[in-house]
Amino acid sequence: MSLNWLTQSGSSASGLMPAIAMHNGQQSLAVLEHFAFSGSSLRQRREAVFWLGQLRISEAGVILMTLINDDISSQIREHAIFSYAQSPAPDRLDILVEIVGDDNQRMSDRQSALFWLAQLEDGSGVDFIHDLLLTH
């Protein structure tokens, strides 16, 4: 099955997102990006966003940040924050801190980023939260 067929046929791609994400190359990244921005359902969009963060974060950081900053759906923005936070991205702490500290971000998105900061396994988010509480 061609990856192009998935986006052109209106296919639901249900159950195929992990396989698409594991497929090397720009074409599979483009398919995931297509579904993240233009999926036929919220579920499909969320699934694409999740796999962008899990398996393609080195190439998809800009895509996730665009969703976080610009998507009209609060659920997609929140899921993109979650996906970035749960990714192996080396800059995930910096990204979450940036979202929390950005007064131009929606309060719900800042709260979501703060929640995921507290969940980072290495404790680095807790250090930021501690410092934040001491300065305010």
Tell me if 53 sits within 8 A of 86, measured CB to CB: yes
Cα 50-54-56 angle, rounded to 5 deg = 100
In sequence order, what are the residues at sequence separation of 6 or more whose Cβ sits closer than 8 angstroms to the Cβ of residue 3? Answer: 20, 23, 27, 28, 30, 31
What pLDDT does residue 63 have? 97
What pLDDT does residue 135 have? 81
Alpha-carbon distance of 80 to 36, in angstroms, equals 9
Residue-by-residue pLDDT tens, the chain, 136 positions: 455 555 554 555 667 888 899 988 899 999 999 999 999 999 999 999 999 999 999 999 999 999 999 999 999 999 999 999 999 999 999 999 999 999 999 999 999 999 999 998 877 788 888 887 888 6
CATH class of 3-135: mainly alpha
Tell me if 89 sits within 8 A of 120, measured CB to CB: no
What pLDDT does residue 3 have? 59
pTM score of the predicted model:
0.86
Cα separation of the two ends of the chain: 55
Q: Dihedrals φ, ψ of 106, to 5°?
A: -65, 145
What pLDDT does residue 58 have? 93
What pLDDT does residue 10 have? 52
